[in-house]
Amino acid sequence: MTQSKQLSSLAEAAALLAERARGGRVFIPAGPVEPLGLAEAFRANPGLADELIFCGLFIPGLNRLDWAALSPKARAEVFLPSPDFAATIATGQTRIIPAHYSAAWRFFRTAPFKAAVFHLAAPDAEGFCSLSLSADASPAFFDRTMFKLGLINPSLPKVKGAPKLHLSALDAWVEADAPPAELSTPAPTGDVDALVHHVTSLIEDGATLQAGIGKLPGAIMAGLTQRRDLSIHSGLIGDWVLPLIDSGALADHAGSLKAGVILGSHALQARMAQEARLKLIPIAETHGAAHLGAIERFTSLNAALEVDVYGQINCEFAGSRTLAGVGGAVDFLRGARLSPGGRPIVMVQSLGKQGETRIVPRLATPSVSIARSDAPILVTEQGAVDLEPLDTEARAQAIISLAAPQHRADLMAAWSQQRGVKA
Alpha-carbon radius of gyration of the chain: 22
End-to-end alpha carbon distance in the chain? 58
Q: Report the alpha-carbon distance of residue 220 to residue 225 in Å, rounded.
A: 10
Q: Residue 331 half-sphere exposure, CB side, CA atoms within 13 Å?
A: 26
Q: Report the alpha-carbon distance of residue 320 to residue 207 in Å, rounded.
A: 37
Would you list the DSSP string of 388-417? Answer: TT--HHHHHHHHHHTS-HHHHHHHHHHHHH
Its sign, for the CA torsion 122, 126, 132, 134, is positive
Q: What pLDDT does residue 3 have?
A: 78
Would you list the DSSP string of 338-403? Answer: HSTT-EEEEE--SB-TTS-BSEESS--SSS-SB-GGG--EEEETTEEEE-TT--HHHHHHHHHHTS
Strand partners, 377: 345, 386
Burial class (CB in 10 A: 0-12, 13-18, 19+), 362: middle
Q: What pLDDT does residue 284 have?
A: 97
Would you list the DSSP string of 197-211? Answer: HHHHTT--TT-EEEE
Q: Which fold has domain 5-175?
A: Glutaconate Coenzyme A-transferase (3.40.1080)
List the domain boundaries for the chain. 5-175, 193-418
From residue 122, alpha-carbon distances to 126, 135, 137 in Å are 11, 16, 20
Contact 77, 97 (CB under 8 A): yes
Residue 365's nearest CA partner among 98, 59, 100 is 98
> Could you tell me the pTM of the whole model?
0.95
Q: Report the alpha-carbon distance of residue 404 to residue 82 in Å, rounded.
A: 30
Phi and psi at residue 22, to the nearest 5°: -50, 130
Contact 280, 159 (CB under 8 A): yes
For 40-76, letters b (16+ CB in 10 Å) and e give ebbbeeeebbeebbbbbbbbbbbbebbbbbbbeebbb
> Which CATH code is given to the segment(s) 193-418?
3.40.1080.20
Per-residue pLDDT of the chain (423 residues; tens, 9 = 90+): 467 999 999 999 999 999 999 999 999 999 999 999 999 999 999 899 999 999 999 999 899 999 999 999 999 999 998 999 999 999 999 999 999 999 999 999 999 999 999 999 999 999 999 999 999 999 999 999 999 999 999 999 999 999 999 999 999 999 999 999 998 877 777 779 999 999 999 999 999 999 988 788 999 999 999 999 999 999 999 999 999 999 999 999 999 999 999 999 999 999 999 999 999 999 999 999 999 999 999 999 999 999 999 999 999 998 878 888 889 999 999 999 999 999 999 999 999 989 999 999 999 998 999 999 999 999 999 999 999 999 999 999 999 999 999 999 999 999 999 986 554
